[in-house]
């Protein structure tokens, strides 16, 4: 007859404490009272829980593992950022442990607790975390450094490494204006996105700077899958055929918009709409992706330096793991223009 393996969860339930508290007692980290420590150790003995090698490693020093939590690894930004993090950590002999939290706060908290339980040397959270309280305090209790690598936002008092969303949108809009476009729309992103709000700020401010019209009906919300963007772009141009250019919220939105424009019988091009015989609509995307070079013509983009953000976040976390006492910083990585269209 096989016996059920005793887990750290069983110990926590038996002792009447949290899994995090058990992990703290086993690792010898954190501020745990003697009474609580004795209760946990008594539960360990009574259940016959095997103190694993990981706990011994934690008591002796670093584990060599760094945790990363992303919302959706399929998003190009996070995939590229993860590659940068991984390169930097591997060069220092550390392994990246990746978890995907999904869009909910509960998923993020569960992933965070899992990483703390496994005794990682540090944690990187990629994406907004405004809805979750107490993550910083949990990390501090266990002496685990924490970094936010986000498109926008972060945790107060925690290092944030992020792109300059407003500048990226300003660059994209200005690029179109200087090529003669005056009827410019914005496509993509969801209304609850802080990243979208920042980019729209840059977009609208640039239009006003150049004395161009800002029309709310030309700012279209849509999710990032290409089909959503294609449908939205087609509907937008069908209703407002005078639009000559579109700033696209993401590379995937730009790719979808490309097909949406083609559906309307309009060509994609870079110049202003002065051709009597054939109207053209210019597209520019943010968060550059390799597939942007495959269209005809290739699509110009504003690169968000996702890999550089990964490098910068890794460097900052390695400094904290090394024991450097640093003031929390908001580190902003500047975007860059990737011009592919012919003049």
CA 252 to chain centre: 15
Which residue stretches of the chain have pLDDT < 50? 1-2, 53-60, 274, 276, 342-343
- What pLDDT does 212 receive? 95
Our CA angle for 55, 113, 35, nearest 5°, is 60
Tokens describing residue 14: 């038996």
- What pLDDT does 4 receive? 58
- What pLDDT does 341 receive? 60
Largest CA-CA distance found in the chain, in angstroms, rounded: 85
Our CA angle for 61, 317, 111, nearest 5°, is 80
The mean predicted confidence, pLDDT, of the chain is 85
Tokens describing residue 2: 């096989």
- What pLDDT does 59 receive? 43
Q: What is the pLDDT of residues 182-217, one digit of tens each?
A: 999 999 999 988 889 999 999 999 999 999 988 999
Measure the CA–CA gap between 160 and 151, rounded to whole angstroms: 10
- What pLDDT does 238 receive? 95
- What pLDDT does 278 receive? 59
The model's pTM: 0.76
- What pLDDT does 322 receive? 86
- What pLDDT does 133 receive? 64
């Amino acid at each position: 007859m096989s016996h059920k393996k005793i887990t750290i969860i069983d110990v926590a339930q038996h002792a009447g404490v949290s899994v995090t508290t058990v992990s703290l007692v086993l690792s010898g980290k954190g501020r745990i009272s003697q009474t609580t420590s004795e209760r946990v150790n008594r539960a360990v003995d009574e259940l016959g829980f095997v103190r694993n090698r990981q706990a011994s490693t934690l008591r002796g020093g670093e584990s060599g593992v760094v945790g990363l939590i992303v919302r959706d690894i399929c998003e190009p930004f996070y995939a590229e950022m993860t590659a940068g993090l991984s390169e930097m950590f591997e060069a220092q002999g550390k392994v990246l442990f990746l978890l995907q939290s999904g869009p909910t706060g509960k998923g993020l908290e569960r992933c965070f607790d899992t990483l703390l339980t496994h005794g990682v040397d540090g944690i990187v959270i990629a994406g907004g975390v405004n809805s979750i309280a107490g993550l910083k305090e949990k990390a501090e209790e266990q002496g685990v450094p924490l970094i936010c690598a986000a498109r926008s936002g972060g945790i107060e008092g925690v290092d944030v490494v992020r792109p300059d969303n407003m500048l990226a949108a300003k660059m994209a809009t200005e690029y179109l204006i200087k090529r003669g476009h005056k009827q410019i729309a914005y496509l993509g992103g969801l209304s609850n996105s802080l990243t979208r709000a920042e980019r729209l700020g840059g977009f609208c401010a640039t239009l006003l700077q150049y004395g161009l019209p800002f029309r709310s009906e030309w700012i279209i919300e849509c999710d990032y899958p290409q089909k959503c963007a294609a449908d939205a772009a087609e509907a937008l141009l069908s209703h407002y055929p005078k639009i000559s250019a579109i700033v696209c919220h993401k590379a995937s939105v730009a790719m979808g918009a490309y097909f949406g424009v083609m559906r309307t019988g309009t060509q994609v091009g870079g110049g202003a709409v002065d051709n009597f015989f054939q109207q053209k609509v210019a597209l520019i995307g943010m968060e550059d992706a390799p597939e942007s070079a495959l269209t005809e013509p290739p699509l110009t983009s504003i690169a968000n330096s996702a890999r550089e953000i990964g490098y910068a976040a890794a460097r900052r976390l390695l400094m904290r793991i090394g024991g450097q006492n640093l003031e929390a910083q908001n580190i902003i990585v500047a975007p860059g223009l990737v011009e592919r269209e012919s003049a």
